[in-house]
Structure 1
Amino acid sequence: MFRYEVVHWYEDDHDEIVEVLARAVDTDGLFARPRPGDRERVVLRGCPPSFAGLTGNCMLEIGTDDEWQWWSLEDLVVHGTVPDGDLIDVVASAEVRLVDDGPGLGPCCNLLSTAGARVGGCRGVDGFPRQWEGLGWPPVALIGVDQPERIRPLDRRKHSWAGGERLHALDRRGHVMAKVPIELDVVSVTPSALGDGLFDVVLDQSDSEERPDPSARAVWDLWREGVPAEPNLWAPFDTAGRRAWSRLTLQRLEKSAADQVGGVYHLDGRHVTDEPGLHLAMSEALLGPGHYFGWGYDAFADCLCGGFGVRPPFTLVWNDAQVAHGAIRDHFLLVLELMRRSGITVELKSPSTLDGVTELDRRLAFGALVTSWVAGYTKAADLSAEPFADSWIVRGDQQDRQVERVVTDEADTDWHVGKMWKGDWITVPTTAPDEMTARLMDADLEMRPRETFMRRSLTDHPAPEPPAGYTIEVSREDVVIDVRLLFEGTEAASGRMAVVDSDAVPHRVFTTPAHRRQGLGSVVMGVLAREAAAAGAVDGLLFATADGLPLYRKLGWEIVSDVVIASNTKGKHDR
């Protein structure tokens, strides 16, 4: 009979305590959107002349480097402009809403597009920054309440700060299906028409947030009959309804102690027309209907780390992939990239070629080559390296090069530049070296000599014999092979190579000045290649300096890309 519970919840010794105050047959006004904000007059002072043509939706950004407010100016209409020297004052109106409630102390005022791109700046905006009263929400009526006298706010003096009031939605078996924060500010209590002993209780919710969207009502009604056992029952719902479905799967989440690894999973892509739909289809493919495996990109990434029932490596067959590609191309490519970086083999089934996938695969394959080089280089050079999705942080003991960011996806270079400290280096293998150089110079970095990324099969690598009087000495420690050429007991040339899986990376191939121009570098490389191949290596990878490039070209090494290198000698921060 009762489909809702009004509860207090609080933490006690890290356990959640739930106290049921009352039960209700139904609710009215729970599924709602905030009431629209009032339109306000907005005067933008000291704007560029282009602001006279503003229209549509914008974002107002107000603050300093550290403190900001962000306001949404929806359906902005310009009524007129007033000259202000070379600038103008813009008189407009818009529906104004606070997006982020930082202090926003000024003096900077910027106007952004809804996508976050900067439209331009102005000297100030009348009435901003300011406090925000919030959007109004309609009240919630609890219909058919059994104990209205118990509905009261939690006495926080008696409990931990972690606590509050919630409304629990129940399924037909009485299990909690959903939880909604609610304010227990009683406006009225009247006898209910549902029967003797029951009452209707109206709660003021003008400041309440996190209300379920009206689309969630039908989703909840379906789930009240039990956890869905059929796939794609979420498909008929709009985006808000699909988000509500995701929240219900999260509510019943139980993290798994052990995960299934491997196997083949099939994703039905026919209904993946928005981001929630993608993650619902993914969850059903991996775990079945009604289960949770992330409801957005970040949550999906967390699930791939383990504890949710399945983890990489495995194979995902994505049927009708063209649907998601056409509807949410950027998100589709982002998720596809994440899965492939995570070790998931994704087979895209589509009747047509999907734009962007080939380029993504090229980027990932290129990044995998760079990753293999970093793994071998750091072993050979005895450096520590920390891997990330699109880069490595290499740490060494060189005085002027202690921290080096090796970027495996040049598309993310600007982000890494913004994270550099004074003294850091950045190394970017790239197929567009001139463009990359310009980007790094624009960031006020000091350019270092370019290098060349090279690759060669080791199975047929040239291996010339040493000249008369020279002897070869080979040693190996763990995965690192060392070769020395000796002349009358004195080292004339040397080099080393690290073998990691099926790749090998040479390092410090050097000939002393007195023994140069005799081909000793070729001899060292030939011995290293032979020993690495015997240890299981198939391909060699290296970054060649300008001095070393002729040697490697002579030995048949092929160019993969340029390598652009820069250092931050003018950084804002010191360690």
Structure 2
Amino acid sequence: MSPESEGTDASQDEAREVLYRLVDRESGAVLIAAEDLLNYFVEEDREPPETVTFVRTHQVGRARRKTGEAELRVVDRQGRTIGVYYLGRVCAAFRHELVASGADRPDLDYSFGHTCEYPRAGDIWRRWAESRPVEHGEWARHPSDWHESWLHVVQTAWFDSGRNATRYGTGGTAVIDGSGFTTRDGFYCALGEAVNGPGGYFGSNRDAVHDCLRTMRRDGAAPFRLVWHDFAASREALGGDFTDSVLSLFEGAGVETELSPE
């Protein structure tokens, strides 16, 4: 193997380890690339941290210490962007000239204007960086307090991949297992998967479901039938007012529903 090919292979191996890139939106320059991120995905009521830490950095852009138009990109193992967060103003909390080079991969801090209030999103992005979900029910294998973060990742990845809020070429019947969730976030995870397949999106709240149904009809997507298994369990967990309001949305959009007690 030639030295040139060895260098290419090494750079590809490094790229497969990168999960986050901090990018200047105006120039497109990568300010920093790293394997992980600390203190960005945090609890909603947590005091915002002073800095966000990029863990094991692979690239440090020396052109700018700060920018007013930054975005954080989540990338998969092939280096493709799978999610984007607009940050606005960011500032390096370190001196570039003191950053070690080579294989040390330092942890470096940046000051962000805000954080992401979905605490499990970082763990889920790491899973999605390996491959998008291809099996039904992966979200349901996580505890219920993960479902809000899973739904956030689904929605972010959905729109950043260029998809619209509509139904795509899936089967004519969408099936929801009402025994698989106990929260409204879990219901929306189940609905998105039922309508658009694993990792699919079909709304993250009632208004968003309405928008998806309206967009589906506008785009001429094929109608579908909704089968809701164990509906009684869903009604008990989510509340009658909520389940009735969701059913009225489907009825208004001409979606046939079948409510199964088991």
- C-alpha contact 1:216 1:244 (8 A) present in aligned 2: yes
**Structure-2 residue corresponding to 1:232:** 137
- Equivalence map 1:143-542=2 (5 Å): 143-145=55-57, 146-154=59-67, 164-182=69-87, 183-189=89-95, 191=99, 195-196=103-104, 198-205=105-112, 207-209=113-115, 211-239=116-144, 241-250=146-155, 251-253=157-159, 254-255=163-164, 263-307=172-216, 311=221, 313-329=223-239, 330-351=241-262
The structural deviation recorded for 1:265 is 2.4
**Structure-2 residue corresponding to 1:542:** none
- Equivalence map 1:13-52=2 (5 Å): 18-33=28-43, 36=46
- C-alpha contact 2:40 2:52 (8 A) present in aligned 1: yes
What is the rounded CA distance, in whole Å, between the counterparts of 2:100 and 2:138 in structure 1? 35
Change (3 A) 1:303 1:214: same
Does the residue aligned with 1:31 lie in a helix, a strand or coil?
coil
- C-alpha contact 2:21 2:34 (8 A) present in aligned 1: yes
Residue 172 of structure 1 aligns with an amino acid whose one-letter code is R
The structural deviation recorded for 1:343 is 1.1
- C-alpha contact 1:318 1:349 (8 A) present in aligned 2: yes
What is the rounded CA distance, in whole Å, between the counterparts of 1:249 and 1:194 in structure 2? 36
Deviations for 1:280-304, whole angstroms, at most 9, x for unmatched residues? 1111111110111111111111110
What is the rounded CA distance, in whole Å, between the counterparts of 1:292 and 1:257 in structure 2? 8
Structure 2 unpaired stretches of 5+: 1-16
What is the rounded CA distance, in whole Å, between the counterparts of 1:272 and 1:35 in structure 2? 24
What is the rounded CA distance, in whole Å, between the counterparts of 1:326 and 1:236 in structure 2? 21
**Structure-2 residue corresponding to 1:9:** 25
The structural deviation recorded for 1:234 is 0.6
Does the residue aligned with 1:184 lie in a helix, a strand or coil?
strand
Residue 38 of structure 2 aligns with an amino acid whose one-letter code is D
What is the rounded CA distance, in whole Å, between the counterparts of 2:170 and 2:37 in structure 1? 44
Aligned-residue sequence identity (percent) comes to 25
Mean Cα deviation higher: 176-185 or 292-301: 176-185
Residue 195 of structure 1 aligns with an amino acid whose one-letter code is A
- C-alpha contact 1:187 1:202 (8 A) present in aligned 2: yes
Deviations for 1:12-47, whole angstroms, at most 9, x for unmatched residues? xxxxx74433312222222223565xxxxxxxxxxx
Change (3 A) 1:350 1:256: closer
What is the rounded CA distance, in whole Å, between the counterparts of 1:150 and 1:241 in structure 2? 38
Structure with greater contact order relative to length (CA < 8 Å, sep ≥ 6): 2
TM-score (norm 1): 0.37
The structural deviation recorded for 1:187 is 1.8
Change (3 A) 1:204 1:262: closer
Change (3 A) 1:228 1:151: farther
Does the residue aligned with 1:217 lie in a helix, a strand or coil?
helix
Does the residue aligned with 2:254 lie in a helix, a strand or coil?
coil
What is the rounded CA distance, in whole Å, between the counterparts of 2:168 and 2:56 in structure 1? 44
Structure 1 unpaired stretches of 5+: 11-16, 37-134, 156-163, 352-575
TM-score (norm 2): 0.76
Change (3 A) 1:349 1:340: same
Deviations for 1:513-534, whole angstroms, at most 9, x for unmatched residues? xxxxxxxxxxxxxxxxxxxxxx
| Pairwise CA RMSD | 3.1
Considering fraction of residues, name the structure with more helix: 2
Residue 23 of structure 2 aligns with an amino acid whose one-letter code is V
- Equivalent of residue 137 in structure 1, options 39, 46, 49: 49
Deviations for 1:379-404, whole angstroms, at most 9, x for unmatched residues? xxxxxxxxxxxxxxxxxxxxxxxxxx
What is the rounded CA distance, in whole Å, between the counterparts of 1:168 and 1:240 in structure 2? 25
- C-alpha contact 2:165 2:201 (8 A) present in aligned 1: no
- C-alpha contact 1:215 1:238 (8 A) present in aligned 2: no
